[in-house]
Chain A
Amino acid sequence: MALTPLEVEAIMLSLRVAGWAVLVSLPLGIAVAWLLARYRFPGHSIVNGLVHLPLVLPPVVVGFVLLLLLGRQGPLGAWLDDWFGITLAFTWQGAAVASAVVSFPLMVRAIRLSIEGMDQRLETAARTLGAPPVWVFLSISLPLMAPGVLTGTILAFARCLGEFGATITFVSNIPGETRTLPLALYTYTQVPGGLDGAFRLMVIAIVIAFAALVASELLARALRRRLEG
């Protein structure tokens, strides 16, 4: 079965949105996970709570908050527009932001677990060999937490591909701009005679999700082999 141009468009858009969302939130996710795992500071629980909030809030609420903050009239949105000419509302970049926020807790949790499971004494050993802290992080900590980073990235990517509520609330359902695969599927179900199209998208979604899982499993296995020798 050949894909129709509309399907290709939805798939490519979904991959682009999820890809950018994960790419941009990854450094921040590592930083926040590191902060939560390694430091005890006043407000630790508050930061932890804020990070996890999107996990328990209805996505529609997240989308609405984003609309209020980042919409063209919103305080942050207006500032971004004035200073950088960046518009997030009703653009695919906005869809990426919505996905990133919703998937962020999953990413942070997985990375934090791997940081907490890491043998800190290896970092100490690296410092006695003359390595400054930044180099220790890049050459020892980061490779050792790579399996957790990978898991977090895949989880977040999958969550982004499935993102619906926050996206439709924040950036609406604009063909070619914000109509990702789940939104396209939803749209099909809302029009008469759209069930065939919806069915095809469902199959595509399952194939993509499954491929991502298999790829991550293979990667994780390769990483573990590297670590264990």
Chain B
Amino acid sequence: MLTVDARLSRGEFALDAAFSAETAGVIALFGASGAGKTTLVDAIAGLVRPHEGRIALGDRVLFDSGAGIDLRPERRRIGYVFQDGRLFPHLSVRGNLLYGRRFAPRERRFATLERIADLLGLEAMLTRRPGTLSGGERQRVALGRALMAQPDMLLMDEPLAALDVPRKAQVIDYIERLRDEMGVPIVFVSHAVDEVARLAGTVVVMAQGRVAAAGPAADVMARLDLDPLAGIEAAGAVLEATVESHDAAYGLTLLAVPGGTLRVPRLGLEPGRRLRVRVRARDVSLATAEPRETSVLNVFRGRVVEIGPRRGASVDVAVDIGARLTARITARSADALALAPGRAVYALVKSVAVDPASLVQAEQDDI
């Protein structure tokens, strides 16, 4: 059980966050930029000292302003994977991995170099220097380094934020393996819905320095009232798109996205401009035969990747069309169409459903 209660203020920003969560699996700290997620994990790690509060992991009290307890970061046994990796440039990958090992009590050592290298696919790069690694490789080494310190818990502050889409997918696979195989509780900071949806069992939504909601992922993510608080559309997918051309006659813009062309209401952007399109799950429908004579302009061929847990009458179905698209359909339809992972489907996206406000220009995005 992780119990956090932290209050501090810095200039305009005030953090007043309290939650407690079971530490099985991944706890996601979810919210828009500036919501106080990083400050909160820094407080858990001991890098930021709250003015008041109490932070405990199981029966180990890490911070308690009332009792005058404030363990130094090196005493907390909390691993931290930073957004930018922060590998030691003068040490080899092996040196980085082994750095924290000597400080861990011998009887608690659960991670060996062999096991971590195997789990994260690092065997081939042990003798290399961090400077020669790609961004994705660096984050994998950072994950391994934090684990080799044999921590009681692992904090990850947007570990995928600095990566491009394919590398993101790769690193998230590895995080999933860690979650399933190492048994170390993880606190995962993110403002990306798909990451949170994929990894977290527990979600803590933060907004303006406060905890807006906390609980099991399925319950929290289904609460559509949290969208404005989190500043994010909760269920949906983000597509990397490039402006292809404009259809002046019908007032449409054609966007090249993975898997095809997406027609949306006309945008005032130059062809060639890159942007991200967020497609809400409830705006995507599925068909198992190629739809003809439909009003829907955007039809993508794809395959079902995964079917989410049922929430009330609906389920979310993840479809790979070259990128991941989420469709929220009724459980009845899912059964009627006999949807299962691997099944070929057509995903239909209504053009008018793509809200211009959901288009984020890549240059302006803080990802």
- A residues engaging B (CB < 8 A)? 119, 121-122, 124-133, 139-140, 143-144, 226-229
Chain B residues near A126 (CB-CB < 8 A): 88, 99
Question: Can you sample 29 A-B contacts with CB below 8 Å?
Answer: A121-B84, A122-B89, A124-B73, A125-B82, A128-B47, A128-B73, A128-B74, A128-B76, A128-B78, A128-B149, A129-B74, A129-B79, A129-B99, A129-B145, A130-B74, A130-B75, A130-B100, A131-B74, A131-B99, A131-B100, A131-B103, A132-B74, A132-B103, A144-B89, A226-B90, A226-B129, A227-B90, A229-B128, A229-B130
**Are B86 and A125 interface neighbours, CB within 8 A?**
yes
A127 engages B72 (CB within 8 Å): yes
Interface residues, chain B, with chain A CB atoms under 8 Å away = 45, 47, 72-80, 82, 84, 86, 88-90, 99-100, 103-104, 128-132, 145-146, 149
Leading 3 A-B pairs by shortest Cβ distance: A229-B129, A229-B131, A130-B103
CB-CB nearest in chain B for A125: B86
Minimum distance in angstroms from A44 CB to a CB of chain B? 25
- A129's nearest neighbour on chain B, judged by CB, is B100
Taken together as a complex, chains A and B put the C-alpha atoms of A217 and B79 apart, in Å, by: 39
Chain A residues, Cβ within 8 Å of B146: 128-129
Q: Contacts A127-B73, A227-B131, A229-B130 given; 5 further ones with Cβ under 8 A?
A: A124-B73, A129-B103, A129-B149, A130-B75, A143-B90
Contacts of A226 in B (CB 8 A): 90, 129
Contact A228 B89 (CB under 8 A): yes
Smallest beta-carbon distance A121→chain B, Å: 6
B174 CB to nearest A CB, Å:
19
Partner of B77, one of A119, A121, A130, A229: A130
Q: List the B side residues contacting A140 at CB < 8 Å.
A: 88
Could you tell me if A227 and B89 are in contact, using CB atoms closer than 8 angstroms?
yes
- Give complex CA distance A128, B157 in Å: 13
Give CA–CA (A131, B90) in the complex, Å. Answer: 17
Inside 8 A of B104's CB, which chain A residues have their CB? 130
- Assembled-state Cα–Cα distance A121/B87 (Å): 10
Give the residues in chain A near B103, CB-CB below 8 Å: 129-132
Chain B nearest CB, measured from A132 CB (Å): 6
Q: Which of B45, B89, B128, B132 has the most CB of A within 10 A?
A: B89
Alpha-carbon distance between A228 and B103 when the two chains are bound, in angstroms: 26
Give Cα A127 to B149, complex, Å: 11
Minimal Cβ-Cβ distance residue in A for B145: A129
> Which of chain A's residues have a CB closer than 8 A to the CB of B130?
229
Contact A121 B99 (CB under 8 A): no
Query: Is there an interface contact between A121 and B86, defined as CB atoms closer than 8 Å?
Result: yes
Q: B129: which A residues are within 8 A, CB to CB?
A: 226, 228-229
Q: How far is the CA of A119 from the CA of B90 in the complex (A)?
A: 13
CA–CA, A127 and B99, complex, Å: 10
* Bound: A13/B54 CA distance, A: 64
B77: A residues at CB distance < 8 A: 130
| Closest CB in chain A relative to B46 CB, distance in Å | 8
CB distance from B151 to the nearest CB of A (A): 8
**Bound state CA distance, A85 and B88, in angstroms?**
47
**B-chain residues with CB within 8 Å of residue A229 when the two chains form the complex:** 89, 128-132
Cross-chain contact A125 with B80 (CB below 8 angstroms): yes
Contacts of B86 in A (CB 8 A): 119, 121-122, 124-125
The smallest beta-carbon distance between A215 and chain B, in angstroms, is: 21
Q: Chain A contacts of B100 at CB under 8 A?
A: 129-131
B74 CB contact (under 8 Å) in A119, A127, A144, A227: A127
In the bound complex, how far is the Cα of B306 from the Cα of A226, in angstroms?
45
Q: With both chains docked as a complex, state the minimum distance between the C-beta of A227 and any C-beta of chain B, in angstroms.
A: 5
> B104 to chain A: closest CB distance in Å?
6
Q: What separation, in Å, do the CA atoms of A228 and B73 have in the docked complex? A: 28
Chain A residues near B72 (CB-CB < 8 A)? 127
Nearest CB of chain A from residue B93's CB, rounded to whole Å: 10
Give the nearest-CB partner of A143 in chain B.
B90
Q: Write out the residue numbers on chain B whose beta carbons fall within 8 Å of the beta carbon of A131.
A: 74, 99-100, 103
- Complex Cα distance A128/B90, Å? 18
Taking CB as reference atom, which chain A residue is nearest B149?
A: A129
Q: When chains A and B are docked, how far (Å) is the Cα of A124 from the Cα of B84?
A: 13
* Shortest CB distance A35–B (Å): 21
B237 → chain A, closest Cβ, in Å? 33
Query: Are B89 and A128 within 8 A (Cβ)?
Result: no
Shortest distance between the CB of B101 and any CB in chain A (Å): 9
Interface centre among B84, B90, B104, B131 (most CB of A within 10 A): B90
Q: How far is the CA of A143 from the CA of B89 in the complex (A)?
A: 10
Q: Which residue of A lies closest to B84 (CB)?
A: A121
- Please give the distance in Å from B12's CB to the nearest CB on chain A: 23
Residues of A within 8 Å of B45, CB to CB, are 128
- In the complex, what residues of A have CB within 8 A of residue B90's CB? 143-144, 226-227
